[in-house]
Amino acid sequence: MKYSPGVEERIAKHNKNVTSKADFKKEAFIMASNSSKAVPEAKEALNKFKYEVAGELGVPLSQGYNGNLTSYQNGSVGGYMVKKMIEAQEKQMAGK
């Protein structure tokens, strides 16, 4: 499989550091937390929005690792966030 530049090194480093399932979960959380955003300044606002949406949906999202939640619960939060962002953009484009 062909990877983007630098990816093979990160995979090798990742595999070297991961020795258990707990290590894998920790590394996955760190990698997800460090992913780059198009607008880095928006990270705090998106995080706040995520917890607001989770509250609206009744998903018990907490700070840090949420491995106790199902993929359905986590997906519903992300999906609803996207839906609300699209609705807000459509309203803005319509001049409302």
Q: What is the pLDDT of residues 3-56, one digit of tens each?
A: 566 656 666 665 565 566 666 566 666 655 555 656 777 888 889 999 999 999
How far is C-alpha 78 from the chain's CA centre?
8
Q: Tens digits of per-residue pLDDT, 44-74?
A: 888 999 999 999 999 999 998 999 999 999 9
Length of the chain: 96
Q: Contact, 73 vs 58, CB < 8 A?
A: no
pLDDT value, residue 2 = 55
Average pLDDT taken over every residue of the chain: 79
Q: What percent of the chain has pLDDT over 90?
A: 40
User: Is residue 74 within 8 Å of residue 66, measured between CB atoms?
Assistant: yes
Check whether 94 has a pLDDT greater than 70. yes
Instruction: Map out the domains of the chain as residue ranges.
Output: 1-35, 38-96
Q: Which of 73, 74, 91, 85 is nearest to 28 (CA)?
A: 74
Note whether 54 and 80 are within 8 A (CB): no
- SS3 label, residue 67: coil
